[in-house]
Chains A and B, each alone.
Chain A
Amino acid sequence: MKLLEYQAKEVLASLGISIPLGKVARTPDEAAAACSELGPVAVKAQVPVGGRGKAGGIKLAGTPDEARAAAAQIIGMDIKGFKVPLVYCEAALEIEREIYLGFTVDRDARANILMLSAKGGMEIEQVAEESPESIARLYPNPWRGPLDFELTQLVFEAGLGELARPLTSLIKKLYRAIPELDAVTAEINPLVVTKNGEVIAGDAKLEVDENAAWRHKDLEQRYGGVVEGDPYEVEAKKRGLTYVSLDGEIGIIGNGAGLCMGTLDLVQRAGGRAANFCDIGGGAKAEVVENAFAVILMNPRVKGVLMNVFGGITRGDEVAKGLVTARDNLKMHLPLVVRLSGTREEEGRKILKQNGIEPGANAWEAAQKIVELTGVRAPQGAR
């Protein structure tokens, strides 16, 4: 789960890290009120994706009226597929210098990596490319966390020796997000050193591991559900399905992430474009198949559905039964092409044929067929 900036900052504050004064505003009036209380503020869109500044999601406001106008513009705006649900109004800082601090999972090293650089700010990726040595790195032992001397080394290596004390203490606090919250990425960029020497988190990004949600039910309760992302993705999540929205016309259902992605590739090669895909996972029962269809068909752009299932644990006859029930219950009349192989494929195909659904011979033929059927004209009968 990716936390919004104000949520991440709440978490940082709970770990003992200083954050600027700020207030959440859900309406323009609330933003105006925040500005009267805090003075000049930055009005910042709250979305779980980078690049909001360039998208016009951050505006400076000197007066309550300006804050009201800024919030009116930003709330409800679409930033990379996310509708902005609220803004965070934050008091401006007097910046002396900007530092980069973050950790993430280094997949190659199979370890957490802590990174610190004196060259913080928006251009950090360019810094990483042009002068990688200016980003100091540390792989802390995952059982005991970073030791004091390791952090001191990190700080000096980054050329920030004069801030050794406050920084080592701050990094230790940030690191607590790993053992205590199952954070997989955290980033404070910029970490601001103010004119009077305070070290404050100017921005904050925090992502926690969804596989560990059972250990942190409080986080999900507190922070889940604020963001209105894609409405279909929200609905799919409620039904416990893995679903991704795309921008074509063909709905895709498959079992397994690899097979779903492989199916997208096939559809594209056949000249079509996927509208979305839904992964029904391993051992999918009839009910799951019906749920998947319901979600796929919610999107009005879908002009036809391609189902690609290879049964290992998933049984072909279960999938076929679910498919027939789903089609009948949902009164689906769009073109439907099904490719079914693996465990109990014969039984599955028989059920499909008995119900007037012609199974495709293989995945490539099935992909070509659905592209042909959806490309012709407006929706036709599936049978």
Chain B
Amino acid sequence: MSILLDSSTRVVVQGITGREGTFHAEQMQAMGTKVVGGTSPGKGGTTHLGVPVFNTVADAVKATGANASGIFVPPPFAPDAIMEAAAAGLALIVCITEGIPIQDMIKVKDFLRGYPAARLIGPNCPGLITPGAAKIGIIPQNITSPGPVGLVSRSGTLTYEVASALSASGMGQSTIVGIGGDPVLGLTFRDVVELFEQDPATTHLVVIGEIGGSDEEHAAELLSRGSRLKTVAFISGRTAPEGKRMGHAGAIISGNRGTAKSKEEAFQRAGVAVAETTDQIVGLLR
């Protein structure tokens, strides 16, 4: 078992003929992910990496029964790609693209309210992987292994670092989800923690947060209401300097939340072990 993604998920890759799309679609295929097709407007009817290419996501869904998408298109086109995937009825949309303007993402989030069944992961994220089954995105499969630990993270490389340490010490992972580092995101820590909570195959959980925003605090609040998962949290940036602030607007809406201290304390209040550095995570999880 796993969350969000397994070997039966039928994936369409948006931007499959591009350099990044090609490279990562191949990696996804190599670990057994069911890549059923791709899109590239104007190239419909051709074949790429052994799968059919379509002009639109709607065409791809009609022809292949795809139910998930991975987006590898440049920032100016990615917001539209997300909305296109939602409108085509896909349940899982993973946007890897880095550098999407915030105002575009705010519009996308508003648009997605009309498609409550569509779950967006990212943007600016490494995607997700269910080890041994399937992946959408760019997480290297060779550092993962199947097992009972759920892993959710805002940072790409720290996700790899921790997954690799877990695998090396024999603690496999149910699903690894990189939710992305942008201020305006699809699924939040809290959403993903809730999914892990409902997954019988997940017994342990690692949450890798970062300074800024208050998504970690919200996840901690959920865990504080009682959880069956043995959880370890790590917040990167506890020694990072405070941002040089201009104006009061940010402080008015967020108060004191957002600091490493606020996040760590929120997890401690929830009874979650907090690692000071990444190398302590495995030990605390045992």
Q: Is B255 an interface residue (CB 8 A)?
A: yes
| Contact in complex: B249, A102 (CB < 8 Å) | yes
User: Known: A142-B107, A269-B276. Contact between A262 and B158, CB under 8 A?
Assistant: yes
User: Known: A184-B102, A258-B210, A342-B140. Contact between A214 and B248, CB under 8 A?
Assistant: no
Closest CB-CB distance, A90 to chain B, in whole Å? 18
**CB-defined contacts of A264 to chain B, threshold 8 Å:** 237, 239-240
Closest CB-CB distance, B44 to chain A, in whole Å? 28
A342 CA / B279 CA spacing, docked (Å): 16
Q: Which residue of B lies closest to A259 (CB)?
A: B157
**CB-defined contacts of A195 to chain B, threshold 8 Å:** none
Among A2, A185, A311, A343, point to the contact of B250 (Cβ < 8 A). Answer: A185
Q: Is A265 an interface residue (CB 8 A)?
A: yes
Segment of A31-39, A91-99, A204-212, A329-337 in the binding face: A204-212
| Contact in complex: A207, B253 (CB < 8 Å) | no
Q: Which residue of A lies closest to B111 (CB)?
A: A143
Among A81, A115, A179, A259, point to the contact of B158 (Cβ < 8 A). Answer: A259
| Contact in complex: B277, A258 (CB < 8 Å) | no
User: Known: A102-B248, A261-B240, A312-B139. Contact between A110 and B185, CB under 8 A?
Assistant: yes
Closest CB-CB distance, A104 to chain B, in whole Å? 4
A26 CA / B159 CA spacing, docked (Å): 48
| Contact in complex: B140, A211 (CB < 8 Å) | no
Among A106, A256, A259, A266, point to the contact of B253 (Cβ < 8 A). Answer: A106
Q: Which residue of B lies closest to A2 (CB)?
A: B246
| Contact in complex: A256, B184 (CB < 8 Å) | no
Q: Is A268 an interface residue (CB 8 A)?
A: yes
Number of A-B contacts (CB under 8 A): 194
Instruction: List 19 A-B residue pairs with CB atoms under 8 Å apart, sorted by A's residue number.
Output: A49-B246, A50-B247, A107-B214, A108-B214, A108-B254, A111-B109, A128-B255, A184-B102, A187-B247, A244-B241, A258-B155, A258-B208, A259-B158, A264-B239, A269-B276, A310-B160, A311-B140, A312-B156, A313-B138
Contact with B along A18-55 (1 / 0, CB 8 A): 00000000000000000000000000000011100000
Contact with A along B32-56 (1 / 0, CB 8 A): 0000000000000000000000000
Q: Which of B152-184 contact A (CB under 8 A)?
A: 153-161, 164, 181, 183-184
Query: Which of B's residues lie within 8 Å of A, judged by CB?
Result: 75-76, 99-107, 109-111, 126, 138-140, 142-143, 153-161, 164, 181, 183-185, 208, 210-215, 218, 236-241, 244-255, 276-279
| Contact in complex: A256, B156 (CB < 8 Å) | yes
Closest CB-CB distance, B20 to chain A, in whole Å? 9
7 tightest A-B CB contacts, nearest first: A258-B155, A256-B157, A212-B101, A104-B249, A259-B157, A261-B237, A258-B158
**CB-defined contacts of A265 to chain B, threshold 8 Å:** 236-239, 276-277
| Contact in complex: A129, B157 (CB < 8 Å) | no
| Contact in complex: A209, B103 (CB < 8 Å) | yes
Interface size on A, residues (CB 8 A): 68
**CB-defined contacts of B277 to chain A, threshold 8 Å:** 262, 265-266, 269, 364
**CB-defined contacts of A205 to chain B, threshold 8 Å:** 246-247
Q: Which of A331-350 contact B (CB under 8 A)?
A: 341-343
Using A261-B240, A266-B278 as known contacts, list a sample of 20 further A-B pairs with CB atoms less than 8 Å apart, ordered by residue number in A. A48-B246, A102-B247, A111-B106, A112-B106, A115-B252, A115-B253, A182-B102, A184-B102, A187-B248, A189-B247, A205-B246, A209-B101, A212-B104, A258-B159, A259-B236, A261-B210, A261-B237, A262-B237, A282-B157, A341-B161
**CB-defined contacts of A209 to chain B, threshold 8 Å:** 101-103
Among A48, A107, A258, A362, point to the contact of B156 (Cβ < 8 A). Answer: A258
A352 CA / B237 CA spacing, docked (Å): 29
Closest CB-CB distance, B141 to chain A, in whole Å? 11
Query: Which of A's residues lie within 8 Å of B, judged by CB?
Result: 2, 48-50, 80-81, 100, 102-108, 110-113, 115, 124-125, 128-129, 135, 141-143, 178-179, 182, 184-185, 187, 189, 205, 207, 209, 211-212, 214-215, 244, 246, 254-259, 261-262, 264-266, 268-269, 274, 282, 310-313, 341-343, 362-364
| Contact in complex: B249, A111 (CB < 8 Å) | no
| Contact in complex: A182, B101 (CB < 8 Å) | yes
Q: Which residue of B lies closest to A82 (CB)?
A: B244
Among A115, A211, A262, point to the contact of B249 (Cβ < 8 A). Answer: A115
| Contact in complex: A185, B156 (CB < 8 Å) | no
| Contact in complex: A125, B248 (CB < 8 Å) | yes
| Contact in complex: B160, A312 (CB < 8 Å) | yes
| Contact in complex: A110, B139 (CB < 8 Å) | no
Among A2, A143, A312, point to the contact of B107 (Cβ < 8 A). Answer: A143
Closest CB-CB distance, A114 to chain B, in whole Å? 10
